[in-house]
Amino acid sequence: MPATVTLLIEPLPADASVDDLERTFREVDQAEPALRVGELSTQRGDGIFETIGVVDGHAQEVRPHLERLRNSARICDLPEPNLVQWEAAIATALARIPATGEFGIKLVLSRGVEHGPAPTAWLAASPVADQSGPREQGIRAVTLDRGYDRGAAERAPWLLLGAKTLSYAVNMAAIREAKRRGADDAVFVSADGYVMEGPTSSVILRRGGVYSTPAPSGAILHGTTQQSLFEHLAAIGGQVEYRDIPVADLRSADAAWLVSSVRLAAGITALDDRPMPYDAAETAAFNAYLLTPRD
């Protein structure tokens, strides 16, 4: 059984009903060329994506990821994806990769080729790197100015701040800057001094027994892993909240985490070279939950 699977997808209209959805997928060798030179996803980053974590053959939170894909398409003026088709593509990929281990399934919807067939879409499933270090030992982080205030998305919706777009050059530059400063990851802060998110993760902090994450807004991507963890915490009696979080609250938190679909929960052990309390037991409990198959 191959460890990697790539499917090219012929996107269907959102309301289309097809009996044999598998005929709209075509498996290709991951090492072989599959996109046109004029593909706008590679030329301009003009497209959207989602990455779904897979644990022992189970894709985690498929529907929330697909709902976010649909929301990103709306923000970016892309055709609405047919979620049933994407669910079938995910099921096809799961049937073709090993049933044990951790994998990532990346879904991509692109504007296609200028003046050509549009949109284009594909799915790529592959093993993920070992994440035991960040999960068990935590990470060092730095705060980086995102360059706009909390109200930027409402004033300038064309910035596409609430969409998960393929334009990740800024996100990757932020991680490189964090590493230049001797850290592992970054936390974006708004120009007016509030916590936003990590380049590839959501921020959760705990103060006085209350778990907080930045209030959803057009400037922050609402994290599927964060939402699932908050649902779990609320179900076991924890107090959770969405609110505006000044940077000072993060620095003085009892504990803080960056959470994402593949790395899962990584406790922050230092912020801007200042040690932070690290709750190893709670981090382990978070990851035990996140590694449990769930829909």
**Cβ neighbours around 91 below 10 Å, total:** 13
Q: Which residue, 127, 150, 182, sits at the end of a domain?
A: 127
Partnered with residue 203 across adjacent β-strands are 258
Is 202 a domain residue? yes
Is 203 a domain residue? yes
Distances (CA, A) of 242 to 19, 71, 211, 216: 42, 20, 9, 7
Q: Is the same domain home to 185 and 120?
A: no
Partnered with residue 19 across adjacent β-strands are none
Is 175 a domain residue? yes
Is 235 a domain residue? yes
Q: Report the distance separating Cα 123 and Cα 5, nearest Å.
A: 8
Phi, psi of 36 (to 5 degrees): -75, 155
Cβ 123 vs Cβ 66: under 8 Å: no
Q: Is the same domain home to 146 and 242?
A: yes
Q: Is the same domain home to 23 and 109?
A: yes
Q: Which residue, 104, 127, 150, sits at the end of a domain?
A: 127
Q: Which residue, 110, 127, 144, sits at the end of a domain?
A: 127
Find the domain containing 37 and state its range.
5-127
Is 295 a domain residue? no
What distance lies between CA 25 and its chain's CA centroid? 24
pLDDT the model gives residue 1: 65
Q: Report the distance separating Cα 38 and Cα 202, nearest Å.
A: 33
Q: Report the distance separating Cα 114 and Cα 253, nearest Å.
A: 48
**Which residues are CB-neighbours of 272 under 8 A, at least 6 positions away?**
141, 142, 143, 251
pLDDT the model gives residue 141: 98
**Along the 295 residues of the chain, how does pLDDT read in single tens digits?**
678 999 999 999 999 988 899 999 999 988 888 888 888 888 899 999 999 999 999 999 999 999 999 999 999 999 999 999 999 999 999 999 999 999 999 999 999 998 777 799 999 999 999 999 999 999 999 999 999 998 888 899 988 888 999 999 999 999 999 999 999 999 999 999 999 999 999 999 999 999 999 998 878 888 999 999 999 999 999 999 999 999 999 999 999 999 999 999 999 999 999 999 999 999 999 999 999 998 8
Residue 15 belongs to domain with CATH number: 3.30.470.10
Q: Is the same domain home to 93 and 159?
A: no
pLDDT the model gives residue 209: 94
Q: Is the same domain home to 224 and 281?
A: yes
State how many domains the chain has: 2
Is 275 a domain residue? yes
Q: Report the distance separating Cα 3 and Cα 109, nearest Å.
A: 23
- What's the predicted TM-score (pTM) here? 0.94
Phi, psi of 43 (to 5 degrees): -75, -35
Cβ 204 vs Cβ 259: under 8 Å: yes
